[in-house]
Amino acid sequence: METVYDFFNHSISIRNQQIFLPILEEKQVELHIKREDEIHPFVSGNKFRKLKYNLQEAKNQGYKTLLTFGGAFSNHILATAVAGKILGFKTIGIIRGDELAKDLQQTILDNPTLQKAHENGMIFEFVSRESYRTKTSEYFLEQLSAKFGNFYLIPEGGTNELAIQGCKEILSSKDSIFNYICCAVGTGGTISGLINASENHQKVIGFPALKGDFLRSEIEKYTKKTNWSLLTNFHFGGYAKYNATLIRFINDFKNETKVLLDPIYTAKMIYGLLEIIKNDGFQKGSKILAIHTGGLQGIQGVNQKLHKNNEEIIH
Ligand SMILES: *Cc1c(COP(=O)(O)O)cnc(C)c1O
């Protein structure tokens, strides 16, 4: 495994890349992308930020094992497996979908995310969708303790108070020149950190990658500030849903800017952002910082599906 940024080192600095596109010039709007995707290929972007203080806490409390939850293509599952390996933790992944347990070898062969997590020593426990839904219940957690002993629990998607503390570090004092900070939203942890780190003259805009109205109240659990909003029209049908338009957009954007986006989160944000810019949603002279939260490891799995269906893949 190649080296990763020191998880306990506070001062990692990530570049902001200015994006040049005709539409930005026409509307006189500046767009920069914070390349958090460059932190690490598998402990990427916000998943690194969310794990940082949790893993430090787990070490401080003397835990040897991390346990967390996720879907079969989850960026968080893989980030936990790889970060755990680097820092010497055992890792257990509770994966949604018990059908995946029928032929474990085939499952791992077919799924690049689980394959990489497995290579990094993660032990999987596949559970039915019904019991996955009860994963925060006392009964479910007791069963896990009986089976796996003592572990440090990281919630699904990695979001908790320590994760939000880590996500605050995405922004630096240099970023105060931006009027708008944009990010993709899943559980709301990342945007909560960004909101807490933002200055009052800045507005934080979230692009949910899934349907549902619960996100606003999730975010309100973690922040008292009000300089934020959610734009809920760019989920492309829901979580992990995408279509040919989005895939084509990813390939065009990569050709024009050299920035590769992931189809589950960051592409939906940048697509939405450019739509709003086209429709004069930002006044002239606006400076926008969009956070590339990573997730590029998921492209291989998406491409396998696209290829099977004879559709355009992500290059
Ligand atoms: C998990 C993830 C998100 C969502 O982050 P939340 O903190 O759950 O809102 C956004 N982008 C990428 C690439 C992710 O992997």
| Domain stop point among 135, 158, 181 | 158
Q: Which of 35, 190, 191, 223 most suits a substitution to test ligand 1, by most atoms within 8 Å of the C-beta?
A: 190
Beta partners for residue 92, in sequence order: 67, 123
Does ligand 1 come within 6 angstroms of the Cβ of 187? yes
For residue 1, the model assigns a pLDDT of 35
212/270 same-domain check: yes
pLDDT by residue (tens digit) across 278-296?
999 999 999 999 999 999 9
What span, in angstroms and rounded, lies between the C-alpha atoms of 237 and 284?
31
Q: How many angstroms separate the alpha carbon of residue 193 from the centre of ligand 1?
A: 12
pLDDT by residue (tens digit) across 147-159?
999 999 999 989 9
Is residue 313 a part of any domain in this protein?
A: no
What span, in angstroms and rounded, lies between the C-alpha atoms of 174 and 67?
36
Q: Which of 51, 73, 161, 187 most suits a substitution to test ligand 1, by most atoms within 8 Å of the C-beta?
A: 187
Does position 8 have pLDDT exceeding 80, yes or no? Answer: no
Does ligand 1 come within 6 angstroms of the Cβ of 75? yes
CA trace torsion 44, 50, 53, 56 (10° rounding): -50
Does ligand 1 come within 6 angstroms of the Cβ of 45? yes
Which pTM was predicted? 0.96
What span, in angstroms and rounded, lies between the C-alpha atoms of 227 and 200?
7
The token pair at 153 is: 């629990």
**Mean pLDDT of the residues in the chain:** 95
pLDDT band at 7 (very low <50, low <70, confident <90, very high): low
250/141 same-domain check: no
Is residue 164 a part of any domain in this protein?
A: no
For residue 5, the model assigns a pLDDT of 55
Does position 239 have pLDDT exceeding 70, yes or no? Answer: yes
154/191 same-domain check: no
pLDDT band at 3 (very low <50, low <70, confident <90, very high): very low
Does position 167 have pLDDT exceeding 80, yes or no? Answer: yes
Mean pLDDT to the nearest integer, 290-315: 97
23/51 same-domain check: no
Is residue 37 a part of any domain in this protein?
A: yes
13/153 same-domain check: no
Q: Produce one character per residue of 207-239: b if its CB has 16 or more CB atoms within 10 Å, e if not.
A: bbbbeeeebeebbeebbeeeebebbbebbbeee
Is residue 315 a part of any domain in this protein?
A: no
Looking at the chain, the whole-number percentage of residues with pLDDT higher than 70 is: 97
For residue 255, the model assigns a pLDDT of 98
Does position 221 have pLDDT exceeding 60, yes or no? Answer: yes
Does position 10 have pLDDT exceeding 60, yes or no? Answer: no
pLDDT by residue (tens digit) across 172-209?
999 999 999 999 999 999 999 999 999 999 999 999 99
Across 8-17, 25-34, 195-204, least confident range: 8-17
85/147 same-domain check: yes
CATH number, domain of 127, equals: 3.40.50.1100
Which residue is listed with tokens 């606003």? 216
Is residue 202 a part of any domain in this protein?
A: yes
Does position 2 have pLDDT exceeding 90, yes or no? Answer: no
Domain that holds residue 204: 4-41+170-308
What span, in angstroms and rounded, lies between the C-alpha atoms of 282 and 280?
5
Atom 15 in ligand 1: which residue has the minimum CA distance? 295
| Domain stop point among 102, 133, 158 | 158
Number of domains in the chain: 2
Does position 30 have pLDDT exceeding 80, yes or no? Answer: yes
For residue 212, the model assigns a pLDDT of 81
89/174 same-domain check: no
Mean pLDDT to the nearest integer, 83-100: 96
Looking at the chain, the whole-number percentage of residues with pLDDT higher than 90 is: 94
| Domain stop point among 131, 158, 185 | 158
For residue 13, the model assigns a pLDDT of 73
Does position 276 have pLDDT exceeding 90, yes or no? Answer: yes
For residue 259, the model assigns a pLDDT of 98
For residue 235, the model assigns a pLDDT of 97
Is residue 314 a part of any domain in this protein?
A: no
